[in-house]
Structure 1
Amino acid sequence: MKKCKYCGKELHEDANFCPYCMRKQINAEYVAAKSVHGLRFRWLILAGVVLIAAVFACVWILPKIYQKPDAQQSAKKEDSAIDYDAYVGTWFSKEISSADEFYENGGSAVQIFSIDDRIAEISLSTVQSAPANRAATTDKIYGEVDGNVIQFSFQNDGWMSSGEGTITLLNDTIYAEVIYTYKDPSALWYLDHANIFYLCDKETPSLFG
């Protein structure tokens, strides 16, 4: 218990007002000082938030808005420097040197019918060696071109299986990767028995018509 500092009556410890002498127990100057202190603390927090937001804007947002024109042009030049026409044709896996050998010994091939900086028309095939000569072959499919990478998907490899993949254009070679999203349980052959393809003589006739 505490006592009223004016009349001396006993008051509750948390009492701010004396019911006997009707006088407040809190010093007005103390209340004002405490209020000013709280206001300063809130202003400090607000200033800190504003400072953090300003730093974030300088580090992350402004560089994206004010990206240097030469950097943007360099990125465009990098894509435009790709000679897509050089990749049009038939590409065999490394161990294959001709279409006849492809069907006799088995292997993988990619036919690129057309390609620009947006769309590529392609087909993929993998053949089992003789005498079985099973073949998994997609129809002509369209892939999305992003720089030197073609992203594609297929619904049927000739065995009712489907998947997706990428073809990366690497100067005088290409690298193709196939990932199946569904393999038919009854299928006897798949494209991903081999998935690396190399440059073939451009005079070789198309394998896919």
Structure 2
Amino acid sequence: MSRFGADPHAFFTRVYADVAPWEIGDAQPDMARLLAAYPPADPVLDLGSATGDLAIYLANLGHEVIGLEFVAAAVEQARAKISRLPAESAARLRFVTGDATRPSALGIPLGAAVDSGFLHLLDPAATDLFIADLARAIAPGGRYYLHEFAVEFPIDNVPRAVTEEEIETRFSLASGWRLLEMRRAEFFNRVAQPTPAVIACAERV
């Protein structure tokens, strides 16, 4: 995460001292539509789960969900939301403080991983390592759902663009993945117009 200064953890900890601009109180609409079209298998890992909106959305649909986030303050906020959920949803959901670039460290074969704005935080070298680790963590037939910015902004401390060409290359059959869907999308936030985005679902083979 070198795009976010020498200490990305400190940067994101400051962001979560307030309400982060990408926190919209629910799953991103395009991600919700993708999950409906290609239902995930359990357990589902929410990569960079922030304060838990997407993980909670999935738990309310009946999925077993783990939220993985490296900012402790965000995890605390997510755990506080569990107390307001129906008991059935709360029982299916837990949040863990840890490194989402290393999902295999959980030691759990995953049915799916959801990524609503995580991959686009990583530079290309970190992305290489992350995708290799993710491939070890997701069971054959498991799916990875990603929703990322598709435009580059010429300012500091913002995500990078993830292109359709990059997704096609990283999630090819030769790389052990089958790309089930990819399309243009929007990424909503609380402070500005939606950002042009790309969304995709890839399946491990």
- Work out which of the two has the higher radius of gyration on C-alpha atoms and give 1 or 2: 1
Higher helix share: 2
Fold match, TM over 0.5? no
TM-score normalised by the chain length of structure 2: 0.27
Compare relative contact order (CA 8 Å, sep 6+) and give the higher one, 1 or 2.
2
